[in-house]
């Protein structure tokens, strides 16, 4: 009974099994053996079939190796060649146009003098070096600017308004000659006050007797004091 059931099951499985498709079908051959036989015939006809020893001659490995080497060399040459763009060849590398000075270039210095000569030059420069010791500052020259300021503020008369008697013939021409010796009216007024003015008239600098030498004007000092 068990044997009958087993046989029935095997028969059912065999009926349900999907048939394996023929790999040679659909390419013009009834089976793969026919395709292989036809392909072998084509290889033999073209001289690429089996050799005398029965082995397939295959591809020429030496020819492949030579072609591969040539392709590699061509690729390396293309990589080493400078690339070009649509605007033209690649710009040349920018070099340092300024460079370094001859004193910092060993090759330039060595062509001009030897190491011994260079050492002698350094020693000569050290010998010529002079250290200047500091000295005391010079004294500031004194000025009587304060004197003329004080005098300007102590007076009220204007230029040309006589306060002092000056009865000297040719006083105007003498004053013109002597006033020309001073760079400015302020310096003339300083000298005038230091040497007895305004009561006296040293060098005839105040011919009109207003107390102001060489047309010196006290107005700016008076105006500054009022501000």
pLDDT at 211: 92
Question: Cβ atoms within 10 A of the Cβ of 161, count?
Answer: 13
pLDDT tens readout for residues 133-148: 888 887 765 555 568 8
pLDDT tens readout for residues 55-98: 444 455 555 567 777 777 787 777 666 555 555 666 665 555 55
CA-wise closest residue to 154 among 225, 209, 85, 84: 225
First to last CA, the chain: 145
Structural tokens at position 64: 């492949």
Higher pLDDT, 88 or 188: 188
Residue boundaries of the structural domains of the chain: 102-131, 145-226
pTM of the model: 0.38
Structural tokens at position 38: 């036809």
pLDDT at 24: 47
Helix (H) or strand (E) holding 42: helix 32-45
User: In this structure, what DSSP letter does residue 85 have?
Assistant: E
pLDDT at 51: 47
DSSP H helices, 46-96, are 61-80
CA atoms in the 13 A half-sphere facing the CB of 35:
11
pLDDT tens readout for residues 145-162: 568 888 999 999 999 898
Mean pLDDT value across residues 111-121: 81
CA-wise closest residue to 219 among 143, 144, 142, 161: 161
Cis geometry, peptide bond prior to residue 198 (ω within 30 degrees of 0): yes
């Amino acid at each position: 009974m068990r044997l009958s059931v087993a046989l029935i099951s095997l028969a059912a499985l065999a009926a349900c099994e999907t048939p394996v498709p023929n790999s040679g079908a659909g390419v013009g051959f009834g089976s793969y053996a026919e395709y292989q036989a036809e392909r072998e015939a084509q290889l033999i006809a073209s001289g690429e079939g089996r050799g005398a020893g029965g082995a397939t001659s295959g591809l020429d490995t030496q020819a492949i190796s030579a072609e591969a080497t040539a392709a590699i060399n061509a690729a390396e040459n293309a990589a080493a060649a400078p690339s070009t763009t649509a605007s033209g060849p690649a710009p040349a590398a920018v070099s340092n146009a300024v460079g370094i000075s001859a004193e910092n270039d060993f090759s330039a210095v060595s062509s001009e003098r030897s190491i011994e000569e260079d050492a002698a030059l350094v020693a000569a420069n050290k010998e010529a070096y002079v250290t200047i010791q500091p000295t005391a500052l010079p004294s500031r020259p004194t000025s009587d600017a304060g004197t003329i300021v004080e005098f300007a503020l102590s007076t009220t008369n204007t230029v040309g308004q006589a306060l002092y008697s000056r009865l000297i013939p040719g006083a105007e021409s003498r004053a013109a000659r002597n006033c020309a010796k001073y760079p400015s009216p302020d310096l003339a007024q300083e000298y005038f006050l230091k040497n007895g003015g305004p009561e006296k008239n040293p060098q005839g600098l105040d011919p009109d007797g207003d107390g102001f030498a060489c047309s010196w004007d006290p107005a700016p000092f008076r105006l500054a004091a009022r501000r």
